[in-house]
Amino acid sequence: MSPRKRLLVIDDDPDFVDGIKSILVGADFDVDVAYNPKTGLQALQAKSYDLLLLDIMMGRGAEGVMIARKIRKDPKLRELPVLIITGIREQIAFLFPGGPMHPHFVPVDELVEKPVEPKLLLERVSALLQAAEARKAEAARG
Amino acid sequence: MSGVENESRLLIIDDEDVVLDSCTQILEGGPYRLATAKDGEMGLRLVQEIQPDLVFVDLKMPGLSGFEVLERIQVADPSIVTVVITGYATVSSAVDAMKRGAYDFLPKPFTPDEFRLITQRGLEKRKLVLETMALRREKALLQEHFAAIVSHELKSPLGSVQQNLFALSQELAGSLTEYQSARLERMKSSIDVLLKLIHTWLRAYSADLEGIQQTFGPLAVGDVIAKAIEIVQPHAVRKDVEIRPTIEGALPSVSGDEGTLVEALVNLLGNAVKFSRLGGLVNVAASKDGPKVVITVADQGVGIAREDLPFVLGGFHVGRPGPEAERGSGLGLAITRRIVEAHRGSISARSELGKGSTFTIHLPALSPNANGRASPETELARDSQKEASHEST
C-alpha cells in the first residue's frame, strides 16, 4: 500500500471547503486547507503535497490564476498536479474574453465546476494522482 | 449656491439685439441662467463654457450660418436641445434644421407666450434626454455587472450548500431512514434547479456569446441535431413523446460552434417536449434552401397564444403553462435567439393555440469547399481584435 496522499485545498469559501474536505477525508486522503492565496503559497513551500485543489475566483479577482502561475515558475512545484475548482465557466470566459472555455492555466490541470459530485471529484483526484505517479516512474526510468 | 444648481442654462444666438433683449426680458425672474451671443463663433464658445441645456439659434446670421452652428453643437454635445429661430418662416428651412438635429423651431415674430412655451418644452425635452442617457448608462452598467453580482452573491453560497449536501449524504449513507434520505435528495434537486436557473441567467446576460465566433468551424447539422436529441431524449421518454428527425441527404455544413448550437437546439427540443401532450410527436427537420440551411422543430402541443407569439423570443417572457403546468424561466428562447444570431442566422416562430408550435432556424450554408470560415469576416475580424486587446493578464 502506498502511503496516504497529501492534498492541499486553497479556497476562500470555508463552507465550500468543508464540503469537499469531508469527501476527500472520507476517501482516506490527508487534507490541508488554506483560505487565502498567501497562506496557500506558504503551505506549498513548507510541506510537500501530492495534489493541489485550487479555487480560481478568490479575493479581488482571479487570484487562483496567480497561484497557478507561481507554481509553474517554481522548479520544486512545477510537477505538482493541480485540480482547478471554479464557480462557473462563465467567470473564466469573462476573464479571458473570447478564449476557450477551458483555458489551460497550467500544463497538467483539470477543471471541475462547483459544486462537484463526490464521485466526479474522487475520480478526477485519483486520475491526476495516477498520472503524476506515472510521470514520476517514467522520469525515474529515463 | 444650491439655487444655481436648479437653474436651467439657456443660450440664445441671434445677431439682432432686439431679439436678444426681448427674450431676456421675457424670461427675467424665471429659474434660468441666460446667456446671449451675437454670432455663431461667440455662441459656440459659450456652448463650451456654460454647457447650456437649451440653445436658440437664429438660422440667418452673418458669419457662421445657423445650420453650421447647429451641427457643431450636435458634435460638441448631442444631448443639448436646440431650437431654431427662423425669420423667414418657411417650412422648408425649419424642416431642414430639424433634420440636422434641431428639436423645434420658433418663427419670428413670436409672442412672449410662444417663447415661454417653447422654452418650457425644450427644457422638458432636455430633461428627458438626460434621464434617458442616465437610464441607458445604468442599464449598461447593470448588464455588465449582473453576471458577476449574481455569480458571487447567489451562486457561490448555493454551490457551497450543495457541496455540503453532497458530502453529508455520503457521510450519512446507511445511517439515514428512507424518509430522511428522500428529503436530502429533494434538497439536492431543488438546489440543482436553482443553480441551473442562475446558470441560465448568466448565459443570457454574459457577453461571451459574441466570443464563440472565434472558434467557429464547419459543422454537420445532422450531428448537431443528433447530439441535441440525445440530451433531450430522457425527458421525452418520460413523457412518451417521440422525437422524429428528418435530415435531408447531402446537406451542406454550416460554420459554427458546436456546443452553443447544440444548446440552442436543446432549448427548442426541450420546449417542444415540455409543451407536448403525453404520447405526442416532435418533428425536427433539416433541409437546404438556397444559400441557407433550414432547421425546424415542430410540436403538436399546447401552442402559443397569438398575442404572446411576438414576445417569446425576446427574453423574460414566461408563456402559458404546459399540459402539466410546466413553465420556463422565460430565457431559453432568448438565449437560443442570441446563439442563432451569433451564428449569423435567424429564428422565427409560428404557432396555433391548441395545435402546436414550429420554430424555424435559418443558418448560412458553407459552400462545399469552404473550410469553416464563412465569407463575411471583415466585421468579425475587427471584433476579435477588439476582444483580444482587452484580454486581462
Cα distance from A101 to chain B (closest Cα, Å)? 10
Exposure string of B199-227, with b = 16+ CB inside 10 Å and e = fewer, is bbbbbbbbebbbbbbbbbeebebeebbee
Q: Is A24 exposed, middle or buried (0-12, 13-18, 19+ CB in 10 A)?
A: buried
By C-alpha distance, the chain A residue nearest B192 is: A115
SS3 content of chain B, % helix, strand, coil (to 5): 50, 20, 30
Set of chain B residues whose Cβ sits within 8 Å of the Cβ of A16: 156, 159-160, 163
CB of B289 less than 8 A from some CB of A? no
Q: What letters, b where the CB count within 10 A reaches 16 and e where it falls short, cover B41-60?
A: eebbebbeeeebbbbbbbbb
Judge whether residue B287 has pLDDT over 90.
yes
Which residues of B are less than 8 Å from A90 in CB distance?
Answer: 147, 151, 199, 202-203, 206, 208
* Cβ contact A105:A78 at 8 Å: no
- Reported as a single tens digit per residue, the pLDDT across B350-374 is 998 889 999 999 999 997 654 444 4
The verdict on a CB contact (< 8 Å) between A97 and B207 is: yes
Average pLDDT over residues B308-325: 64
Q: Tens digit of pLDDT for each residue in B115-124?
A: 999 999 999 9
Cα dihedral across residues B362, B262, B265, B237: positive or negative: positive
Q: Give me the interface pTM, i.e. the ipTM.
A: 0.82
Instruction: Answer yes or no: is pLDDT of B195 > 90.
Output: no
In B15-54, the residues whose Cβ lies within 8 Å of chain A are none
Interface test with A, best of B144, B152, B163, B393 (most A CBs within 10 A): B163
Nearest-CA residue of chain A relative to B204? A90
- Partner-chain contact B195 A93, CB within 8 Å: no
Q: How confident is the model at residue A112 (pLDDT cuts 50, 70, 90)?
A: confident
Nearest to B215 among A16, A95, A100 (CB): A100
CA distance B101 to B386: 31
C-alpha cell at A26: 472520507
Of the pLDDT bands very low, low, confident and very high (cuts 50, 70, 90), residue A61 is low
Q: Do B166 and A26 touch (CB under 8 A)?
A: no
* Cβ–Cβ < 8 Å for B322, B356: no
Q: B 97-156 residues with CB below 8 A of A?
A: 147-148, 151-152, 155-156
Averaged pLDDT, B239-255: 93
* pLDDT for B320: 56
Which residue of A55, A90, A91 to mutate against B (max B Cβ within 10 Å)?
A: A90
What residue of B is the nearest CA neighbor of A91? Answer: B148
Q: Sort out which chain A residues have CB atoms less than 8 A from B166's CB and list them.
A: 19, 23, 115-118
Cβ atoms of A46 and A22 within 8 Å: the answer is no
Nearest to A90 among B161, B163, B208 (CB): B208
pLDDT band of residue B312 (cuts 50, 70, 90) is confident
- In this structure, the dihedral spanned by the alpha carbons of residues A90, A92, A96 and A98, taken in order and rounded to 10 degrees, is -30
Rounded average pLDDT over A53-63: 79
Rounded Cα–Cα distance for residues B20 and B46 (Å): 15
Q: Residue B123: what pLDDT?
A: 95
Query: Which of A117-121, B136-140, B258-262, B385-389 shows the lowest per-residue confidence on average (mean pLDDT)?
Result: B385-389
**Residue B392's pLDDT is what?**
37
Mean pLDDT of A122-136: 92
User: Over the stretch B26-54, which tens digit does the pLDDT of each residue have?
Assistant: 998 889 999 999 999 999 999 999 999 99
How far apart are the C-alpha atoms of B106 and B53, rounded to whole Å? 17
Q: Which of A20, A91, A95 sits opposite B163 (nearest CB)?
A: A20
- Please state, in angstroms and rounded to a whole number, the distance separating the CA atoms of residues B377 and B392: 25
**pLDDT score recorded for residue B210:** 66
Weakest mean pLDDT among B112-126, B150-164, B291-305 = B150-164
Locate B137 and state its grid cell. Answer: 448608462
Establish if A117 touches chain B: CB-CB under 8 angstroms: yes
A116 in B contact zone (CB under 8 Å)? yes
Q: Out of A41-55, A90-104, B114-128, B280-294, which region has the weakest mean confidence (pLDDT)?
A: A90-104
